[in-house]
Amino acid sequence: MLVCLILLMWSGMSVPESMGPKGPFAVSQVATADPTFAIETIVIEGEKQVPEVVILTESRLIAGQTYSEQQLRHAIQRINRLAYVMECRFRLKRGSKRGIYQLVITVEETRFWFVETTSTWSRSSEGGRTGNFDTGVVGARWFVGPADLLYVSSESFANWRAGEFDLGDQLTLGYSHFNLLDQNIFFDVQLGWQDGDRSMVVTQFGPAASENRDSWRLNLVAGVPVGENHWFKLVGRYALRSNRLWERDPLGEERLSAETDVRSGNLTFTWEYNTTDDSFVPRQGRLWRVGLLMGGSESNLESVAPGREIGLTDQDFYTADVRYEQHHPFWNRHNLSYQFTGEARRQDLRATTAAGDQPGPDTAFGRQRELQMNVFGDIVYAVDLWGNRKTRRYGDFRLELRQRLGYQHENNLFSSESGGVRLRESDHVSLTVIELKYRNAWAVARLRFEYVWRP
């Protein structure tokens, strides 16, 4: 798989329109049909908090090199995709010698604090799969060095799904560096803590059971640019989760039923080719992403009542996924995009359960091997309802209609000392989403209604 990934990277790098800077410093011909520009210096204007290094790193332009117009356009799009920049423009001025230019990059920044809200109403042709999901994030970021960013955010969520109610808060503290080893390498470390309460099977007398969970997670990201519009990303995640399950007895009193500790970690390798003009409301360009995930988890369940029981599970999983997006503006404010997502996952789970603290004659062993494949194709129509065409100072407001067709296949093999069972399940799924998206210099809001059709 890794070989395939490298081959894909190589083939992507050979796309002619995305070649890197051309050769040594040279004076351009001013009146050619496809002009190139020798950039002597790069000047950045309009920046308030975002350091110049961050803009320059993302532009991947180097003073002293010659660039075509297409390469400069792609640099504009890369800067525009930064969360800290609302808009970026390039202007060429005369340099010190004839035929040599000074590139002026003008940026308009977003605010240092941000708010994000998402509300989703989900309904399904199978009544039991309905739900409402709401999240709200408040955060702030500070550039604390020439290429160093510190950020903090607080997230609250409230999810309701068919008799379950899940409430929680999450705190995240992160640090990013944009130019590691002076090689334009992006590095990010993120520490998060989550506290959540889940009430299950809510009746008129209250929840029949509830779960309280705490979790810590650590994420590490390294992004290496490997071409003009290509990235290679390595993401590592490690999480510790502790769950406590409470049950309500007939007298209405809650008592601790089980405790679980889970340790999990995974490593993701991703190659990405991205020429979209915006990460939130893209109107043009394409995205290719190929990823490989390897991970594992261990959990330790201790049941308190009615009899003491322990359960140990050990799980390995591998996921390969590919994603393709193509965006077309087709008329004035109207946009059409096609998206394809494919994912294959293999999971091996080993479980041991025993009464008492130590394995004994009643200890049971079980294995499960799950193979899962999902393929989705999406067509998305979007109309920009509002947004200043001249400058994005006042934000973007978009209505999106998405129709997804998909196929899901699952192959499960359960085995234990007494034998094995194989279960296969295939399903066609269709999803309709209506979404309103809004963004300005400090806020992002999404309002989404989705309907899942299952045959």
Considering only residues 24, 253, 358, 389, which one is a binding residue for another protein as defined by CB under 8 A?
389
> Which of these segments, 116-124, 147-155, 231-239, 322-330, binds another protein (CB under 8 A)?
322-330
> Which of these segments, 34-42, 56-64, 162-170, 293-301, binds another protein (CB under 8 A)?
34-42
**Considering the complex, what minimum distance in angstroms separates the CB of residue 385 from another protein?**
5
Per CB under 8 A, contacts with another protein among 238-297 are 277, 283-284
With binding defined as CB under 8 A, does residue 72 bind another protein?
yes
> Which of these segments, 45-53, 86-94, 200-208, 220-228, binds another protein (CB under 8 A)?
86-94
With binding defined as CB under 8 A, does residue 38 bind another protein?
no
Question: 174-193: string of b/e by CB count within 10 Å (b at 16+)?
Answer: bebbbbeeeebbbbbebebe
Query: CA 79 to CA 77: how far, in whole Å?
Result: 5
Residue 32: strand, helix, or coil: coil
Contacts of 129 (CB under 8 A, 6+ apart): 122, 161, 162, 452
Query: CA 194 to CA 155: how far, in whole Å?
Result: 9
Query: CA 220 to CA 217: how far, in whole Å?
Result: 10
**Considering the complex, what minimum distance in angstroms separates the CB of residue 16 from another protein?**
8
> Which of these segments, 96-104, 298-306, 371-379, 439-447, binds another protein (CB under 8 A)?
96-104
**Considering the complex, what minimum distance in angstroms separates the CB of residue 270 from another protein?**
26
Query: CA 38 to CA 92: how far, in whole Å?
Result: 10
Binding mask 394-433 for another protein (x = CB under 8 A): ---x------------------------------------
Residue found under tokens 């035929």: 99
> Which of these segments, 67-75, 261-269, 313-321, 425-433, binds another protein (CB under 8 A)?
67-75
Taking a C-beta distance cutoff of 8 angstroms, is the pair 321, 290 a contact?
Answer: yes
Does the CA dihedral 157-445-220-317 come out positive or negative? positive
Considering only residues 2, 390, 419, 455, which one is a binding residue for another protein as defined by CB under 8 A?
390
Question: 140-170: string of b/e by CB count within 10 Å (b at 16+)?
Answer: ebebeeebbbebebebebebbeeebbbebeb
Laid out side by side, the sheet with 66-68 consists of 66-68, 36-45, 100-109, 85-94
Considering only residues 94, 129, 255, 454, which one is a binding residue for another protein as defined by CB under 8 A?
94
Query: CA 180 to CA 183: how far, in whole Å?
Result: 6
Query: CA 173 to CA 335: how far, in whole Å?
Result: 36
Taking a C-beta distance cutoff of 8 angstroms, is the pair 409, 388 a contact?
Answer: no
Q: How many helices (DSSP H) and strands (DSSP E) are in the chain?
A: 3, 19
Report the residue number, 390 or 419, with the smaller CB distance to another protein. 390
Report the residue number, 63 or 267, with the smaller CB distance to another protein. 63
With binding defined as CB under 8 A, does residue 89 bind another protein?
yes
Considering only residues 4, 14, 99, 142, which one is a binding residue for another protein as defined by CB under 8 A?
99
Asked if omega into 359 is within 30° of 0 (cis), the reply is no
**Considering the complex, what minimum distance in angstroms separates the CB of residue 192 from another protein?**
35
Considering only residues 255, 328, 422, 454, which one is a binding residue for another protein as defined by CB under 8 A?
328
Considering only residues 333, 345, 409, 448, which one is a binding residue for another protein as defined by CB under 8 A?
333
Asked if omega into 35 is within 30° of 0 (cis), the reply is no
Residue 29: strand, helix, or coil: coil
**Considering the complex, what minimum distance in angstroms separates the CB of residue 327 from another protein?**
9
With binding defined as CB under 8 A, does residue 91 bind another protein?
yes
Residue 98: strand, helix, or coil: coil
With binding defined as CB under 8 A, does residue 70 bind another protein?
yes
With binding defined as CB under 8 A, does residue 58 bind another protein?
no
With binding defined as CB under 8 A, does residue 448 bind another protein?
no
Query: CA 264 to CA 125: how far, in whole Å?
Result: 34
Q: How many chain residues bind another protein (CB under 8 A)? A: 35
Q: Can you give the binding site for another protein, defined by CB under 8 A?
A: 17, 30-31, 33-35, 37, 68-70, 72-73, 89-94, 98-99, 101, 277, 283-284, 328-330, 332-333, 385-386, 389-391, 397
